[in-house]
Amino acid sequence: MAEHASTETFALRVQFDTEAQQKNASTLGMWIFLITEIMFFGGMFAVYTIYRSWYPDVYAIASSSLNEIIGALNTGVLLLSSFTMVMAVRAGQLGQQKAIVLFLILTLLFGGIFLGVKAYEWNQKFEEHHIPGQAAFHLDGVLPADQGHAQLFFSIYFAMTGLHALHMVIGVGILLTLIVLARKGRFSASYYTPVDVAGLYWHFVDIIWIFLFPLLYLIDRHLVK
C-alpha cells in the first residue's frame, strides 16, 4: 500500500499550470542537458579512437595493463546502482516514501563503492609509474620511442575516467539531497519529478561507463602476449 505523505503546495512552481506540465518541462530540460553531455563525451571518444587507430600496438599494450577483472566487477556494481535507481523511481510513482529512501541509499552505496574501487585503480597506476608526466613513467613491452604514445593513452584514460568520476560525485550529491527530501516526506505519487529526473542523469552516467569499460579495458588486449 502506498504511503501517503502530506501534499506540499511548493511542489508546483508558479510558472506552471499543472504538475504534468512541470514534469514534462523538467524532463525536457534534463534531456537537453544530457545531449550536451553526449556531445562533450563524444568528442573525447573521437580523440581516443583517432589516436588508437594511429598507435594500435601501443594502445593494446596499455589497455592490457589495466585490471579488467576489477573493471568488470565495478561495471556490475554500477549496473546494480542503475537497478536500485529504477526501483527508487518506481517507489516514487507508488508514493512509497520509505522505499524511496531505501533504494536511494542503496544507489548511493553502490555509487560510493564504484568511486572507491576507481580510486584504488588510480593508486595502482601511480604505484606502477603509469602516471603521465612522471619522470619514472615506463610501460613494459613498449619501445622507448613509443613511451610518449603510451603516456598519451594514460592521459586520455585519466581524463575520461576522471570526468566520469566527477559526474558520479555530482550524482552522489544529488542522491544525498533526494534522500533528505524523501525523509521529510516531500515526494508522493503525484510529485516525484526530482527522483525521476535524477534517475535520467544517473542512468546516463552509467551508460557512459558501459562504453568506457570495453574501450579502455578490453579492445585488442587478446593480441598482447
Spatial distance between the Cα atoms of 39 and 35, rounded to a whole number of angstroms: 6
Q: What is the pLDDT of residue 147?
A: 86
- DSSP letters spanning 30-53: HHHHHHHHHHHHHHHHHHHHHHHH
Q: Residue 14 in 3-state DSSP?
A: coil
What's the whole-model pTM score?
Answer: 0.86
Residue found by looking up cell 550529491 in the block? 173
Q: What is the pLDDT of residue 18?
A: 59
In contact, 199 and 85? CB cutoff 8 Å: yes
Of residues 72 and 16, the one with the higher pLDDT is 72
What average pLDDT does the chain have?
87
In the predicted structure, residue 200 carries a pLDDT above the cut 90: yes
Provide the pLDDT confidence category of residue 5 given band limits of 50, 70 and 90. very low
CA angle 165/83/66 to nearest 5° reads: 40
Spatial distance between the Cα atoms of 38 and 50, rounded to a whole number of angstroms: 18
pLDDT tens string 85-103:
999 999 999 989 899 999 9
In the predicted structure, residue 120 carries a pLDDT above the cut 90: yes
Across the chain, which distance is largest between two alpha carbons, in Å? 68
pLDDT tens string 25-74:
667 878 898 899 999 899 999 999 999 999 988 899 999 999 999 999 99
In contact, 44 and 156? CB cutoff 8 Å: yes
Residue found by looking up cell 602516471 in the block? 131
